[in-house]
Structure 1
Amino acid sequence: MTALLEAEGLQTAYGSSQVLFDLHLRIEAGDVATLLGRNGMGKTTTVRTLMGLTPARAGSVRFLGERIERLSADRIARMGLALVPEGRQIFGNLSVAENLQAFAANRRAAREPWTMDRVLALFPRLGERLRHMGHQLSGGEQQMLAIGRALMTNPQLLILDEATEGLAPLVREEIWRCLQTLRAQGQSILVIDKYVQRLLALGNRHTVIERGRVVWQGSSAELSAQPEVWQRYVGV
């Protein structure tokens, strides 16, 4: 059976410094997969390589069976991968409404296409700030906008790098609620975050990486039963 996304033997480097070493990752349609590991272990580089932002030096990435590791980032995005990047990177000089409209895309694969109304139903706070400029939003509101903007592309795979990094506890809870809602709707997700307990409840497949190599993969039940994996590789 063809996976939604599959990376095999992935190697990535920045100049002479190799970061990923023969990394393997498989995500099925409907999965909520996670990438776990301490800071600097290659999680963001993995995401950047999957999205075509940092070219792979070796190995392959297949999306719905098609090789994509040599494609441009915009081509990969048009195929149905959407990234909520670390740091949000919304357009500060555009309003909330303009940020959302700029990424609107209709895809035949979308069972229930994402519209602005649907995003605002998911994040009512954005509806109260439609005319606010991006730079006028709080960090939590910017993260909601970044997620909403990605959803407006109607992605087949939604990728979140540091989903709740730097957010206040109440805002983090809202982001977790959003992700649970998306999971219930069948959205395929790959998420990076440091809150392992929340990821155990959200995800069904977990990959732990250490210094650019996969050191453990398994289900939530398997990871819950092996706290030594958390202590050794995640630092919790």
Structure 2
Amino acid sequence: MNTTPLLACEGLEAGYGASQVLFGIDFHIMPGEVVTLLGRNGMGKSTTIKTIIGALKPSRGEVRIAGESVRAKSPDAIARMGVAIVPEGRHCFPNLTVREHLLAFAAQRHATREAWNMERIYAVFPRLKERQHHMGNQLSGGEQQMLAIGRALSTNPRLLILDEATEGLAPVIREEIWRCLATLKAAGQTILVVDKYVHRLVGLADRHVILERGNAVWQGSSAELDADRRLWQMHLGV
């Protein structure tokens, strides 16, 4: 049995210039787990993700992927290690079709089980198949989010990161995204997700990390988080 975390953040400190944002973040994700980063706006969630993917270098501490430090690696090298992000704002290319998005990013480097090929992605998101010849700028916000997830899956990542997974989406589209994430979890995909809908995340994720002013102030299982609604009020404003 593999006891090495797929992702480990160890004493992570980071910030912007003289402004420190993270103060010794510690958490890990085991292969096949779904873990959330929770917290109010401005508490360090996006900075943590930027540090994991190499867009921001830590001032202290380490990010490790499958035991290997990524401190000296570029964002591109970290992506090649099997880390894929669905960014806040989706960032679909307006001049590429749905199909071209999925072809352009396709890779099999880390496909250790059934690969995420185009047909399998279309099976999870039938709407993308219906829209496969539409340009990125011809899609609705929900369709763009589906495409951003599909694009990330096409790289066959070891770790899939979703930043603000359902931000700005209509309720019916949010439900489609939750269904997708449940499907990915059942398929064994390791996921780190940031989102504010705690009541849905406790039914999806294995564990949760709550950030407060750049510190990991609580970590625990979905059952533990669900049982203590004071945490929701204290740290999440729910």
TM class by shorter chain equals over 0.9
Letter in 2 for 1:123: F
Letter in 1 for 2:172: L
Q: Which residue of 2 aligns with 1:78?
A: 80
Q: Which residue of 2 aligns with 1:154?
A: 156
Letter in 2 for 1:178: C
User: 2 CA distance for matches of 1:136 and 1:30?
Assistant: 34
TM-score normalised to structure 2 length = 0.97
RMSD: 0.8
User: 2 CA distance for matches of 1:215 and 1:170?
Assistant: 33
List aligned pairs for 1:15-164, cutoff 5 A.
15-164=17-166
Verify: 1:10 aligned to 2:12, yes or no.
yes
Q: Which residue of 1 aligns with 2:218?
A: 216
Letter in 2 for 1:115: N
When residues 108 and 6 of structure 1 are mapped into structure 2, their CA distance, relative to the original with a 3 A threshold, is closer
SS in structure 2 of the partner of residue 197 of structure 1: helix
Q: Deviations over 1:143-166 (max 9, x none)?
A: 000000000000011000000000
Letter in 2 for 1:196: V
User: 1 CA distance for matches of 2:71 and 2:85?
Assistant: 16
Q: Deviations over 1:55-109 (max 9, x none)?
A: 1111001111101122100000010010000000111111111111111001254
Unaligned runs of 5+ in 2: none
Letter in 2 for 1:121: A
- 4+ aligned runs moved over 6 Å, structure 1: none
For the 8 Å contact 1:116–1:152, the answer to whether it is kept is yes
Verify: 1:193 aligned to 2:195, yes or no.
yes
User: 2 CA distance for matches of 1:15 and 1:206?
Assistant: 29
Letter in 2 for 1:117: E
SS in structure 2 of the partner of residue 143 of structure 1: helix
User: 2 CA distance for matches of 1:115 and 1:77?
Assistant: 18
Farther off after superposition, 103-112 or 147-156: 103-112
SS in structure 1 of the partner of residue 148 of structure 2: helix
User: 2 CA distance for matches of 1:108 and 1:183?
Assistant: 17
Percentage identity across aligned positions? 63
SS in structure 2 of the partner of residue 158 of structure 1: strand
SS in structure 2 of the partner of residue 233 of structure 1: helix
1:217, distance to aligned residue in structure 2 (A): 0.3
1:2, distance to aligned residue in structure 2 (A): 1.1
TM-score normalised to structure 1 length = 0.98
User: 2 CA distance for matches of 1:168 and 1:99?
Assistant: 24
For the 8 Å contact 1:107–1:113, the answer to whether it is kept is no
1:207 to 209, 212, 224: 209
User: 1 CA distance for matches of 2:35 and 2:15?
Assistant: 24
User: 2 CA distance for matches of 1:147 and 1:180?
Assistant: 13
For the 8 Å contact 1:8–1:24, the answer to whether it is kept is yes
Q: Deviations over 1:12-31 (max 9, x none)?
A: 11111111110011100111
For the 8 Å contact 1:49–1:69, the answer to whether it is kept is no
User: 2 CA distance for matches of 1:132 and 1:108?
Assistant: 29
